[in-house]
Amino acid sequence: MIVSTVARRLAAASLTAAALAAPLLMSPTAHADSRETVLFLTVSGSENTWIRGIALQCPATPQGHHPRAAEVCAALDEAGGDFDRLPGDPHLCPLILDPVTVTAKGTYDGDTVDWQRTYPNACAMEAAAGPVFAF
């Protein structure tokens, strides 16, 4: 029990450090534009049993980390940067309870983003958010 608590705290600290460092890793020219989009996205399993994260920069660049960055940037533009209005990929999902929590922190078009949502399972997340958290 102590090990899992320590592991969760270490994972959370690592992600926080990565989120704070992500903007520093961007090129100097990216910082010149005050309307930039730089986000750190995370997906975690029930009770933080696992967690992964990735940096996203829009417009998508060849040096970017998100495997579907161009699609994600287009989806965010369609939603006006509002994660609650993402077009998603609507489809039916099984009624299995295996919660996943997603977060987005950073800036979209120069505006601060600090968003979090928990979905009942990964399928429901994909249906609502489309490619955004597919990494």
Strands in 111-119's sheet, in edge-to-edge order, are: 51-58, 37-45, 100-108, 111-119
Query: Which range (40-44, 54-58, 61-65) has the least confidence?
Result: 61-65
**Residue 34 confidence (pLDDT) above 50:** yes
What pLDDT was estimated at residue 12? 53
Q: Which residue has the higher pLDDT, 11 or 58?
A: 58
List, in order of start, the domains of the chain with CATH numbers. Answer: 2-129 (3.30.350.10)
Residue 25 has a pLDDT of: 44
Q: Quick one: pLDDT at residue 28? A: 43
Q: Comparing 72 with 60, which gets the higher pLDDT?
A: 72
With DSSP H G I counted as helix, E B as strand and the rest as coil, what are the percentages for the chain, rounded to 5? Answer: 40, 25, 35
Under 8 Å between Cβ of 73 and 80: no
Average pLDDT over residues 77-83: 96
115 versus 62: the higher-pLDDT residue is 115
